[in-house]
Amino acid sequence: MIKNTMRYLVPGDYMADPAVHIFNGKLYIYPSHDWESDVPENDNGDHFNMKDYHVFSMDTIEGEVTDHGIVLEVKNIPWAGRQLWDSDAACKNGKYYMYFSLKDKTDIFRIGVAVSDKPEGPFIPRDNPIKGSYSIDPAVFEDGGSYYMYFGGLWGGQLQRYRGNKALESAVLPEGGDPALCARVVRLSDDMLEFAEEPRDVVILDENGKPLTAGNTQRRFFEASWMHKYNGKYYFSYSTGDTHLLCYATGDNPYGPFTYQGVILTPVVGWTTHHAIVEFKGKWYLFHHDSVPSGGKTWLRSLKVVELEYDGKGVIKTIKGTG
């Protein structure tokens, strides 16, 4: 296990759930924005009462972090209810697309999209959420000219309310030896505004080629999907949620299946973590968050970055968290 020097990126505000991309030679960070909340903390995450997004950029990993200000707000989204959770961004043909998790007016999470001519926004939201979208944590990955979205989260993220992309009459969380619920992956349409197909399960296999079970809480998916590619392999990484780990699995294509490989980050101060992995100027970095600056308040999290390393076989070296 390695313990690298970690840097807090926005010490004057509470930002979390970073998505990170390189546009025009710069690092751009798309986080959620934590606020002090009067809502009691619960497993559904009602205390995460976010209402806007900022965008940040960096010319170098050690340099100044530029805050481009508010780029999208709940009050400007026509279909909005509450809770503007995790987001991500992508670029195609000179346009920038922000994908975001938001509860609609019936308190159901959907995924929306907003568009800009610049990576730093501001972003103009579409009038409706993406048709067929549900749950939270959109993460967009480009591969060979196609764009794929990974999404889903348990508990407050509402993934347990769906099977086969259809809503259940009652939410069901599998237990014990039942197959674990999976993240979803879907190819985006050419205009980047809709799903081009039905979402599929992101299946994670154990070392024996068997799908992970719901009771395997140290390894099964909970939320916070991310995808990156290293030496021709696809690395699907995610949070285990209530067991507080960032883990990863590898596969041979964007749809998987993926075979579990190990832990990227051990627990941090705060209930869970959420991350992005990106290569910048020849080095790899893990962006994530913890709650150290707020004194452990799980709903007031702070952005961090740390260098990420692989061994000669492509194994990610485990990083020690703050927990």
For residues 285-298, average pLDDT: 96
Answer yes or no: is 318 within a domain: no
Answer yes or no: is 287 within a domain: yes
| Dihedral Cα 70, 74, 76, 79, nearest 10 deg | 150
Place of tokens 């347990």: 160
Other CB atoms within a 10 A radius of the CB of residue 118 amount to: 15
Side-chain half-sphere of 168: how many Cα atoms within 13 Å?
Answer: 11
Other CB atoms within a 10 A radius of the CB of residue 33 amount to: 20
Q: Which residues contact 304 (CB under 8 A, 6 or more apart)?
A: 6, 7, 8, 9, 287, 288, 289, 290
**What pLDDT, in 10s, does the model give residues 234-284?**
999 999 999 999 999 999 999 999 999 999 999 999 987 899 999 999 999
Answer yes or no: is 67 within a domain: yes
* Contact by Cβ (8 Å): 168, 161: yes
Q: Looking at residue 128, what is its pLDDT? A: 98
Computed over every residue of the chain, the mean pLDDT equals: 96
Give me the percent of the chain exceeding a pLDDT of 70: 99
Sign of the CA dihedral with 82 first, then 245, 265, and 90 last: negative
Answer yes or no: is 32 within a domain: yes
* Contact by Cβ (8 Å): 179, 205: no
| Dihedral Cα 8, 13, 15, 20, nearest 10 deg | -60
Side-chain half-sphere of 67: how many Cα atoms within 13 Å?
Answer: 14
119: which 2 tokens?
């990576």
Q: Which residues contact 170 (CB under 8 A, 6 or more apart)?
A: none
The CATH number covering residue 92 comes to 2.115.10.20
Answer yes or no: is 319 within a domain: no
| Angstrom distance (rounded) from CA 269 to CA 169 | 36
Answer yes or no: is 132 within a domain: yes
Look at the chain and report how many structural domains it folds into.
1
Answer yes or no: is 50 within a domain: yes
Q: Looking at 13, 17, 36, 143, which residue is catalytic?
A: 17
- Phi first, then psi, for residue 314 (nearest 5°) are 85, 10
Partners of 2 in the β-ladder: 319
Is this prediction's pTM over 0.95? yes
First-last CA distance in the chain = 14
Q: For residue 220, give its domain range.
A: 7-308
Partners of 303 in the β-ladder: 289
Q: Looking at residue 41, what is its pLDDT? A: 79
Higher pLDDT, 48 or 78: 78
pLDDT band at 4 (very low <50, low <70, confident <90, very high): low
* Contact by Cβ (8 Å): 123, 98: yes
| Dihedral Cα 230, 116, 193, 92, nearest 10 deg | -40
For residues 303-316, average pLDDT: 97
Active site residue 252: no
292: which 2 tokens?
């150290």
Q: Which residues contact 172 (CB under 8 A, 6 or more apart)?
A: 160, 163
State whether residue 2 is helix, strand or coil: strand
Q: Looking at 34, 137, 223, 290, which residue is catalytic?
A: 223
| Angstrom distance (rounded) from CA 187 to CA 142 | 10
* Contact by Cβ (8 Å): 115, 123: yes
Active site residue 17: yes
Pairing relationship of beta strands 26-33 and 52-58 according to DSSP bridges = antiparallel
For residues 70-94, average pLDDT: 97
Q: Looking at residue 47, what is its pLDDT? A: 81
DSSP result, 222-249:
-EEEEEEEETTEEEEEEE-GGG--EEEE
Other CB atoms within a 10 A radius of the CB of residue 265 amount to: 26
Answer yes or no: is 64 within a domain: yes
**What pLDDT, in 10s, does the model give residues 159-194?**
999 999 999 999 999 999 999 999 999 999 999 999
